[in-house]
Structure 1
Amino acid sequence: MALILVTGASSGLGRHTADALADDGHDVVVHVRDPARLTDADGTARWKGIVTGDLAEPDEIRDVARQACEYGRFDTVIHNAGVLHSPEEITVNTVAPYLLTALMDKPARLIYLSSSMHRTGSTDLRRLASGTATYDDTKLWVTALALACAFRWEGTTSHAVDPGWVPTRMGGPGASDDLAAGHRTQVWLATHHDATPPTGGYWYHRQTQTPHPASRDEAFQARLLHLLESHTGVPLG
């Protein structure tokens, strides 16, 4: 049985991921922005706990980390939360995963939600500081973060996952990928030990793919981490 945190789990892929892990007997802590969106009828009793906070607000990101740390060291943290077509994309999609990773005790496994759209993201990191980044940019950067973490700490593995274009609230009803398949890779990586590679993979439906070259470029990773440290005032460690 593993202790697992899933961010952005009030609905969509995060909710499916959290429920599947809980149904498999794991201790699941879910993060939600607005607890009012949850009711007892949702079956929330299956979860070990709930942490709350708006990942678009740096102070609340820090508080989410504080709340999560009260549960102890997680076996797996799944950075699922994300937004599309929003001025909050940079903070939610890139800064929040960075800050939570930096502020929390290092888990055995880190999983970051990417997107196939990361392949058209920009390596111009001035967009992060200026607030002009696109969704594609933020997903390239969080993919680079995932792969930068892959060999950083002994005892911690890290992967990036493309869940596909699935018909969630964010993906929209016209999305063409299988919703049921959208969370299975995260669940598998969170709980199994037979992934190849064991760390540093970019995954789509339990198969590895080749990500944007910059995401594996150590010089780009270093520039990104330096900028995120300067932006937040928090080193990755």
Structure 2
Amino acid sequence: MALILVTGASSGLGRDTAHALADDGHDVVVHVRNPSRLTGAGDTARWKGVITGDLAEVDQIRDVARQAGGFGRFDAVIHNAGVLHSPDVSTVNTVAPYLLTALMDKPARLVYLSSSMHRTGSTDLRRLADGTASYDDSKLWVTALALACASRWEGTTSHAVDPGWVPTRMGGAGAPDDLAAGHQTQVWLATGHDVTPATGGYWYHRQTQTPHPAAQDEAFQARLVQELERLTGVSLG
């Protein structure tokens, strides 16, 4: 049994991931922006805990990390929360995973949600701070962050996952990919299965793929981490 945090777990892939983990007997802590979104019967009772906070607000991201600290060291953290069309896209999709990673005790396993759309993202990191970032940009950056964290700390692995274009509220009813497969790779990576590569993989439906070249470029990773450190005032360590 593992202690696992899933961010953005009130709906969509985050909810499916959290439910699958709980069904398998794991202790699941869910993060939600608004606890009123937990409306299902027994929706709160089945969780080890519920953490609340708006990941579009830096002060609240810090508070989410503080709340998470009350549970001790997690076995896995799944950075699932994301937005598609929002002026907060870089904060929610990139800055929040960075800050939570930097501020929390390092888990055994880190899993970051990417997207196939990261392949058309920009490497212009000025967009992180000036409000012009696109969803594609933010997913390139979080993919690079995931791979930058790989093998960074002894005892911690890190992977990025493309869940596919699935019919969630974000993906839309007409999305062609398999909804069930959309969360299965995250569950698999978070629960300690032997995988190859052991860290630093970019995954789609439990198979590795080659991400955007910048995501694997150590120089770009270093520039990204440096810019995130400058913006937040928090070192990745």
- Give 5+ residue unaligned stretches, structure 2: none
Q: 1:191 & 1:210 partners in 2: Cα distance?
A: 23
The residue number in structure 2 matching 1:198 is 198
> 2:208 is aligned with what amino acid?
T
> 1:88 is aligned with what amino acid?
D
Indicate the SS of the match to 2:45.
helix
The residue number in structure 2 matching 1:10 is 10
> 2:137 is aligned with what amino acid?
D
Residue by residue over 1:92-143, the C-alpha shift from the partner in whole angstroms, topping out at 9 and shown as x without a partner, is 0000000000000000000000000000000111111211111000000000
Check 1:178–1:42 CA distance in 2 against 1; reply closer, same or farther (3 A cut): farther
Runs of 4+ in 1 over 3 A off after TM superposition: none
2:49 equivalent to 1:67: no
The residue number in structure 1 matching 2:215 is 215
The residue number in structure 1 matching 2:28 is 28
Tell me the TM-score normalised to structure 1 length: 0.99
- Give 5+ residue unaligned stretches, structure 1: none
> How far has the Cα of 1:41 moved from its partner?
1.1
> 1:54 is aligned with what amino acid?
D
> How far has the Cα of 1:44 moved from its partner?
2.7
> How far has the Cα of 1:45 moved from its partner?
1.4
Q: 2:79 & 2:8 partners in 1: Cα distance?
A: 8
2:90 equivalent to 1:90: yes
Q: 1:197 & 1:175 partners in 2: Cα distance?
A: 29
Which deviates the most, 125-134 or 223-232? 125-134
CA RMSD of aligned residues (A): 0.8
Indicate the SS of the match to 2:41.
helix
2:163 equivalent to 1:163: yes
Matches within 5 A, 1:137-152: 137-152=137-152
Indicate the SS of the match to 2:111.
strand
Residue by residue over 1:59-112, the C-alpha shift from the partner in whole angstroms, topping out at 9 and shown as x without a partner, is 000000000010000000000000001101010000000000000000000000
Q: 1:70 & 1:4 partners in 2: Cα distance?
A: 13
> 1:163 is aligned with what amino acid?
P
> How far has the Cα of 1:193 moved from its partner?
2.7
> 1:52 is aligned with what amino acid?
T
Check 1:91–1:38 CA distance in 2 against 1; reply closer, same or farther (3 A cut): same
> How far has the Cα of 1:40 moved from its partner?
5.5
Indicate the SS of the match to 1:110.
strand
Indicate the SS of the match to 1:41.
coil
> 1:15 is aligned with what amino acid?
R
The residue number in structure 2 matching 1:185 is 185
Indicate the SS of the match to 1:45.
coil
Indicate the SS of the match to 2:60.
helix
Q: 1:192 & 1:234 partners in 2: Cα distance?
A: 29
> How far has the Cα of 1:227 moved from its partner?
0.3
Q: 1:9 & 1:40 partners in 2: Cα distance?
A: 13
The residue number in structure 2 matching 1:229 is 229
2:113 equivalent to 1:113: yes
> How far has the Cα of 1:172 moved from its partner?
0.6
The residue number in structure 2 matching 1:100 is 100
Indicate the SS of the match to 2:142.
helix
> 1:80 is aligned with what amino acid?
N
> 2:198 is aligned with what amino acid?
P
> 1:61 is aligned with what amino acid?
I
